[in-house]
Structure 1
Amino acid sequence: MPFKFYFNVFFFVFCSFLLQAQTDGFAEFEMDQLGIKKYQPNWTMGATDSLFVEISNGQKYLLHTIRAGQTLYSIKKFYGVDLSDIYYSNPNISNTNDLKVGEKLRIPILSKAIKRFQETNFDATAYIPIFYKVRPSETMYRISKVYFRLPTEILMSRNQLLSENISSNQVLHIGWIDKNGIPDSLKNFTGLPGILGEESQKNKYRYEAVFNGKNEKTLQGTACWDKAMELSAKNKLYVMCSYVPKNGIVRIENPMTNRELYAKVVAAKPENSFTQKSIIVLTPTVAHALGGLDARFYVKVHYCQ
């Protein structure tokens, strides 16, 4: 056989070995004859595991207990959310190094990601049970009808209750999620949850108070932010912009992720080499909430005059 043939065979085997070796210890790749077929976390949850769901400002969160070897990337894949969803739902988390085994992450989810009903051939071993802890003054009607859109009688039967009377801290079995992760059809959470969602809504009211349908202007250009700055609860929806007076409100849109929010202007944009050619400076919270993980990304800024 010619040397070129052996070289090609060696090169193919070597590349295949490298590709398999490139897993980072937290994920594995399924391969087919065309190459990488799909990414999967190398951990699954068994039917003996369970998760709690909590509700804050109308947003549902699963409480995920961090296991050894898990990263933000493997967790986001399992639950089908963006890294930015995890970041602004857990303001004290800024990178993988912040994860501690045994601690809990709040994972925002869509309501339809929770399986509420059992089909005829339902296999409980293929799912993880989801529970909810009753808060003071909550009623069976509110939890079943408002929170989870379940018939009251089904929720009572599922929890072997003879009446609608419930008490604070009582644990209710609500439904299930697939132990292999949330299916693609139920992924792509893109909301602005929790405290940030409430803050954006308040800013929106202030914005609309001066917006009459005629005096709104739009800028298109680059937003910048300091990726070295830590993400924390102190980083609210603040921006620096020279087109709007201090304490004014702007509506910022990221066309690439179809996300928008309302933020408060705390100062004029500083003029230096980093901010040059940008129209607005963001805090890390605003950047992550918009889904902009690069230090500079394209935005539309709407403001009123």
Structure 2
Amino acid sequence: MHFQGLNLNLLVSLDALLSEKSVTRAAVRLHVTQPAMSASLQQLRQYLSDPLLEKVGRQFELTPRGKELSVSVKELLLRINTVLHSGETFDPGTASRTFKVAMSAHMADLLGVPIIRQLIQIAPNINFQIIDLAIDSFRRVEEGELDFCITVGERVENNPPNRPEILSSRHLFSDEFVLVAALDNDAVTADISYEQFCEFPYIEVRFSGNFMSLPDIELERQPRRPRVQAWMTTSQNVLAAVSATQAVAIVPSRLFRLHREYLKLKSVAPPLKLAPIHQMCFWHARNAIDVGHEWFADLLEETARSAWPAEADTETA
């Protein structure tokens, strides 16, 4: 089908070329031959009067026109897909679909496991893929690579998406941070001062290796802070390290409560002011007419409230 002289099938090729910045990778992505993809690129260049891809050094980069088209074309294709499937009924008991959700490892513990349990019982053909939370997670939601991103609401301020107005969100549950230590670490007491805290070796979590947690962002603002003994990529690894050493760490209270018994941990209030955690679920507003997507958003919210009810917030650690 043609529209104003353009073969609309070329829009799919255009999206692949602009995303991959490579004829070879675009061809692999669409399962076509490289000569066929090269021919599509030539047609697009002729129609748009722009090279779209230019060689810079040893690799190809998008031209200004290519960058301008990149998000718009992807958004158009995603909207077309949503509209085509908007009238479909959705029965979770028989539907087959994969939902990709970005979240931290500790949220995979707190929410991912209960979600899997639910899916096995009520939606056996629905697949749930957890993707590591990263700096570019919001961008990937915007571009349709991820269905949801679960992170703390404060993350939007510290690492804002390109276009926050296109994101929808729901609150899942709230939490607070606690200072954790090994149960036999008698030097850590409930009345620990900030100066005493700074004398302890400290284990810091860095999501995806370079994504700072909220407590560590706050510690960076202090005139003095504990010396970081080690950086680890998950809060669970941090807890295991604390359990076996004299080091301390700051982690979410709910995660501490999940692991404290078998890791033999204790917690006290941190000796600095830290804001409460509000775990939020974010997705692109274009999915509002997707009944399957709406069902999974409901499942995330209901499972979070069931697994971690609000009254648990007041439980002492």
Higher helix share: 2
- Please, what TM-score do these two structures have when normalized by structure 1? 0.22
- Please, what TM-score do these two structures have when normalized by structure 2? 0.21
Instruction: Specify which structure has the bigger relative contact order, considering alpha-carbon pairs within 8 angstroms and separated by 6 or more residues.
Output: 2
